[in-house]
A and B are shown apart, each in its own frame.
Chain A
Amino acid sequence: MQILVCVKRVPMVGGKIVILPNGQELDTHMSGFTVSPHEECAVEEAVRLTERYGGGVTVLTLGPAEAADQLRDMLALGASRAVLLETDGREWGPVATARAIVDAIRGGDGGYDLLLFGNESADTGGYQVPVRVAHALGLPCVTGIKGIEITESGGPGAARARREYGSTEEAFELPLPAVISVKEGINLPRYPSLPGRLRAKRAVIERFTPQWQPEGLSRLGLRVPATERRQAEILGTGTDAVPALLALLSELGVLK
């Protein structure tokens, strides 16, 4: 089966988010970049499915030239082909992003049995690119998935997708081709192998340059919420702090 996985390059924010003086972007000169966690799991899931059913995994991203690094990371995990929709570094909204992905699918070889996405990107958290892509292509779609099984033996015919709902699970049957967005926890991604890394280094990345478009939702600025900044009262050091800790638990009413 042929699987397309869409990923996004995002900063590794670590312990603190610093905003540039322009109030528009994060200060990333000290941080590395990665793909959103849900998407790394989407790539792992795709690789597992093709290990089982044959076929190949194409990873696609829309981002600056440097996003090729993230594509190579995903190639190292087992993806076989990479496509970069190269931008000038400006932030793209979800409507334009979905349109560029759809154009790439229509313009390219197409023929995917499954289109996988992360449930939401770590940074902008728009929750909609996969759904917009599905509508544009007329494909069935489900989001937030924590388990995928391919049903109908003898070729990929349908996918059974599961997710948590409150204290229970719900399951969806989707005829293929379909669009599914997944959440971290669907699997535990592997570490890239050395041969995987070497292959990724040599791989040719296909590049296209879609046109940026404005959309209805536009960013005015970014800020860190004020409520974030508390500073802990130190109860003590090591086991000497245990009486104070016990007194605090009692005060909070959590001791039975």
Chain B
Amino acid sequence: MTVLCLIEEADGQAADVSLRALTFARQLAGSSGQAVAAAVFGDPDAVPAEVLSGYGVSDAYAICSPQTEALSGYGVSDAYAIGSPKTLAGYAPQAWARALAGLSTGLPATAVVAAGTDRGQEVLAHLGALAGLPMAANCVSATADGPGRWQLVRHRWAGSLLEDAELEAPVAVLTVAPDAAAAEPAPTPAHTSVHRHEPALSEADLVVRAAESAEQSAAASLATARVVVGGGRGVGGPEGFAPLEELAGLLGGVLGVSRVVTSEGWRPHKQQVGQTGTRISPELYLACGISGAIQHMAGCLSARHIVAVNTDAEAPIIAHADYAVIGDLNEVIPALVTAIRARDGAP
């Protein structure tokens, strides 16, 4: 019996969130003496076997497009018999789910796990729907509790609340909360066998497919910034952000804002930190004039250090921050900028 984990790639490597999901999958497998298998969409030579071996994966399945002959055997029309191994190179949510469903049945898997990314949630939701299985999103822990039964802890309110839950299903379909745990290699590496897996797909599975566009999104730099300077309602209006941007520049960071700022149209939504914006994980989050609503704090749970600048010593953010300055950001931040410039200017 096996726990199957979907591995997403980023820059030609196994994505860090997927390694975290793999760590979660290994712990789940370990709690019931099972093996861990990985599913990677791509050719066998693109499978990061060495990394997977370090994480204790015994079998890795490279999910590739079937050949034309194989397709015709499944009654697929010529329209989709593309015949090129690139057919599955693009992301197609339902096709990915169909492939995981087939693999999971064949192994057989007792659980299918993926990182709680946009794609992870989407593919496992499709898997749940097409296989008639429940799906639990954003789990932080899972333990087997007899056949077809699991005890789970999962996020609600994007991690501001935890739910203890019980799952009863033939196969557990679980996504892992992205910031639930660190990626940890296995105590002893496994020997990883790489297999080619050609899924049986229908025409309908490939109707929705991604075409990547060259347009750049600013959200990525906010998500990965080492320093984020945040501005909220206390900034006072769209014209008040210049000192915060200047400070962010001096600290090699970027500007982030709270939901009220984007709802008021002061700044674009791509700069929003929060449950419905970007989740950040900087070394330092300097939150200025931000009260600390649940919606906002859900986006910065992974910040290493939080420093708040707020006029209200009773604001909720003070209870979430490591350090605080009680004062008006419109005075404190320009003074801080001046102090940094003076320091940089000194011999």
A183–B185 Cα distance when bound, in Å, is 34
Contact B214 A168 (CB under 8 A): yes
Q: Which of A138, A175, A232, A254 has the most CB of B within 10 A?
A: A232
Counting chain A CB atoms within 10 Å of each CB, the highest count among B134, B212, B213 belongs to B134
Check if A185 sits within 8 Å of B272, measured CB to CB: yes
Whether the Cβ atoms of A222 and B328 lie closer than 8 Å is no
If A125-B156, A132-B129 touch, whether A232 touches B332 (CB-CB below 8 Å) is no
Q: How far in angstroms is the closest Cβ of chain B from A249?
A: 7
CB pair A254 B307 closer than 8 Å: no
Is B346 an interface residue when CB atoms closer than 8 A count as contact?
Answer: no
Partner of B336, one of A26, A222, A245, A252: A245
- B118, A144: Cβ atoms under 8 Å? yes
Q: How far is the CA of A214 from the CA of B307 in the complex (A)?
A: 45
- In contact, A246 and B340 (Cβ under 8 angstroms): yes
Total interface residues in chain A, CB < 8 Å: 86
Contacts of A94 in B (CB 8 A): 134-135
A95 to B169: give the CA distance in the assembly, Å.
13
List chain B residues, Cβ under 8 A from A152.
Answer: none
Bound together, the chains give a CA A243 to CA B125 distance in angstroms of: 51
CB neighbors of A among B203-242 (8 A): 204, 207-217, 219-221, 226-227
**Closest Cβ neighbor of A224 among chain B residues:** B161
Contact assessment for B135 and A128 in the assembled complex, using a CB-CB cutoff below 8 Å:
yes
Question: How big is the B interface, by class?
Answer: 35 or more
Contact A120 B121 (CB under 8 A): yes
Contact B339 A172 (CB under 8 A): no
CB–CB A222/B226 < 8 A? no
**Cβ-based interface call for B6 (8 A):** no
Q: Which of A206-256 contact B (CB under 8 A)?
A: 215-225, 227-239, 241-246, 248-249, 252-256
Cβ contact within 8 Å between B319 and A170: no
- Tell whether A230 pairs with B135 under 8 Å between CB atoms, given A184-B269, A246-B343: no
A15 to B138, CA, bound (A): 22
Number of A-B residue pairs having CB atoms within 8 Å of each other in the complex: 285
Q: Are B294's CB and A127's CB within 8 A?
A: no
Is A131 close to B, CB under 8 A?
yes
A16 contacts B294, C-beta separation under 8 Å: yes
Whether B129 and A134, one on each chain, are in contact in the complex, defined by CB atoms closer than 8 angstroms, is yes
The answer to whether A222 and B161 touch across the interface, beta carbons within 8 angstroms, is yes
Beta-carbon contact of A218 and B165 below 8 Å: yes
Chain A residue with the shortest CB-CB distance to B310: A232
* With A127-B175, A162-B213, A169-B215 as contacts: A132 and B340 at CB distance below 8 Å: no
Q: In B100-139, which residues have CB < 8 Å from any A CB?
A: 116, 118, 121-122, 125-126, 128-130, 133-138
Q: Which of A175, A215, A254 contacts B283 (CB 8 A)?
A: A254
For residue B67, CB closer than 8 A to chain A, the reply is: no
Indicate if B320 sits at the interface (CB-CB under 8 A): yes
Q: Which of B93, B265, B294 contacts A17 (CB 8 A)?
A: B294
Cα A142 to Cα B320 in complex, Å, equals: 35
Mark contacts of A45-76 with chain B using CB atoms, 8 A cut-off: 1 yes-contact digit, 0 otherwise. Answer: 00000000000000000000000000000000
Q: Top 5 closest A-B pairs, CB basis?
A: A185-B269, A216-B134, A15-B316, A238-B327, A167-B220
30 A-B contacts, Cβ less than 8 Å apart?
A14-B293, A15-B291, A17-B161, A37-B276, A37-B295, A93-B134, A126-B137, A140-B207, A140-B208, A141-B93, A142-B208, A166-B220, A168-B217, A169-B212, A170-B210, A173-B211, A185-B276, A185-B277, A188-B265, A219-B164, A220-B166, A225-B160, A231-B319, A232-B322, A234-B323, A236-B325, A243-B339, A254-B226, A254-B251, A255-B250
Residues of chain B having any CB pair with chain A under 8 Å: 10, 91, 93-94, 116, 118, 121-122, 125-126, 128-130, 133-138, 152, 155-169, 175, 204, 207-217, 219-221, 226-227, 250-253, 259, 262-263, 265, 269-270, 272, 275-277, 283-284, 291-295, 297, 301, 305-308, 313, 315-316, 318-328, 331-332, 335-336, 339-340, 343-344
